[in-house]
Structure 1
Amino acid sequence: MIVALIAACEIGFWVLLAAGLACRYVFRMPRLGLALLLCEPLLEVVLLVATALDLKHGAEPDWTHGLAALYIGYTVGHGHRTVKWLDGHAAHRLGGAPRPVGPPRYGTARARHETRVWLGTLTGAAVATVLLQLAVWYVDDASRTGTLESWRYAAWRAAGIHGLVALAYWIWPKKAPAGASREHGAEERESARR
């Protein structure tokens, strides 16, 4: 049941996102579009409540409950950035706005960008850990919560690996090609404004 609900929430995320962006830029109904986009967090609340009810009714804590916590954590950590990125592209393609500036490609600007993305992963891992710990306390039976505890380690392993990738951009920054020095300076200034 939980896996089907996670899939439904993921599909619902994209459906609400597409509907919200279509209302904003195709149908010129920005308030309705904003309302639809603001409904996105409700999907995570539904998943959280359903997972808690599943555990309350005696379901054995398993990988599906851990996956639900990671999904909610990922959405908290990266959902806003995903919506903002897609909104910028929809505004460009459908609303006539200028093309959104992509992430910087070189030097410390790229390293700062990758660090900000990693902070989203760190936030997601922290949220998942809190939810998993609450589930452990809720079940209150150490013999049944091993699976939930293993998902905490999975969340922090992913955050650690992503942190190493972000750190690599600081240690070995990619250098701009010789002809791209002017473009690189513009990227640095744009990144500093974000």
Structure 2
Amino acid sequence: MDVLVYLIIGCEIGFWVLLAAGLGARYLLHRKRLGLALLASVPVLDVVLLTAAGADLARGGTADTVHGLAAFYLGFSVAFGHSLIRWADVRFAHRFAGGPAPMKPVKGTAPYRRGLWIEYGRVLIALTIAVAVLLAMIQFLAAPGEAAVLWDWIKRAGLVAGIWLVAGPVYGMFERPAQVAAPAKPGVFVPPRERHR
């Protein structure tokens, strides 16, 4: 298996380890500065991955699927990393620090649809970052004749954007809120003996 594959897996594991350690330090050990430092170090993983992918090509490595995967992972990590940290922080605070319970918008409502568009905006940011990294690899690092596989990943970015648009916010525009059964109107209590008279 390519070293970059191991590095991508390591970065993903490292993200969750740093996230758990940072939130644990903040809420369980009550060491806010340590927790903040651990959470702030999460982007370092992205820098390590980007540097490793670029260095691999610069030293003569063949551009292949793994480099495209690394670019996509980097884009989604940057675009979604902060929201994932915030998502976990709310739940950790609720569980261990008496914070408010996390709120989830009801499907079909305006807040739910707005959330789908916000999520899609992050997807576009992720794909923009991935495409920028891929173009930089093509322009500065890939050897002549090796760019085709990286161009294929750029085409995949457009495909992902289209599929996510249709399956996410466009589909969500047609979802309707679940119908909540109205409470029964209070009636007059009739004793069992009176019901048969």
Q: Distance in 1 between matches of 2:18 and 2:64?
A: 29
Contact kept? 1:51, 1:65, Cα under 8 Å? yes
- For 1:4, the equivalent position in structure 2 comes to 6
**1:108–1:173 CA contact under 8 A, matched in 2:** no
Aligned residue number for residue 48 of structure 1: 50
Residue 189 of structure 1: aligned partner: none
From the superposition, tell whether residues 142 and 164 of structure 1 become closer, same or farther in structure 2 (CA, over 3 Å). Answer: farther
Q: 2:120 aligns with which of 99, 118, 121?
A: 118
- The structure in which a higher percent of residues are helix is 1
Equivalent of 2:170, from 156, 159, 167? 167
Structure of larger gyration radius: 2
Q: Are 2:63 and 1:67 aligned?
A: no
Deviation at 1:179, TM superposition (A): 4.3
* Distance (Å, rounded) in 2 between the aligned partners of 1:133 and 1:113: 30
Q: Is contact 2:107-2:175 (8 Å) kept? A: no
Q: Identify the residue that residue 106 of structure 1 maps to in structure 2.
A: 108
1:17 pairs with one of 5, 16, 19: 19
Secondary structure of 2:100's aligned partner: coil
**Secondary structure of the corresponding residue to residue 143 of structure 1:** coil
Aligned partners of 2:118, 2:47: CA distance in 1, in Å? 25
Output the amino acid matched with 1:129. Answer: V
- How far residue 47 of structure 1 moved from its aligned partner, in angstroms, is 0.4
Query: Does the Cα contact within 8 Å between 1:25 and 1:95 map onto a contact in 2?
Result: yes
Q: How many residues align?
A: 179
Is 1:95–2:100 an aligned residue pair?
no
Deviation at 1:31, TM superposition (A): 1.1
Q: Secondary structure at the match of 1:175?
A: coil
Deviations 1:72-101 (A, max 9, x none): 000112111111000000000011111121
Q: Which residue of 2 aligns with 1:139?
A: 141
Counterpart check, 1:85 vs 2:84: no
Q: Offset of 1:141 from its aligned partner?
A: 4.0
Shift of 1:104: 3.7
8 Å CA contact 1:139–1:145 kept in 2: the answer is no
Give the Cα–Cα distance (whole angstroms) in 2 for the partners of residues 156 and 95 of structure 1: 42
Counterpart CA distance in 2 for 1:99 and 1:178 is 22
How many Å separate the matches in 2 of 1:65 and 1:12?
19
Give every structure 1 segment of 4 or more consecutive aligned residues whose post-TM-superposition deviation is greater than 4 Å.
none
RMSD: 1.4
Are the counterparts in 1 of residues 134 and 154 from structure 2 also a CA contact under 8 Å? yes
Q: 8 Å contact 2:76–2:127 — kept in the other structure?
A: yes
Say whether the 8 Å CA contact 2:106–2:177 is kept in structure 1: no
TM-score normalised by length of structure 2? 0.86
**Secondary structure of the structure 1 residue equivalent to 2:145:** helix
Aligned-residue identity in percent: 37
Mapped to 2, the partners of 1:103 and 1:18 lie a distance apart of 25
1:57 to 56, 59, 63: 59
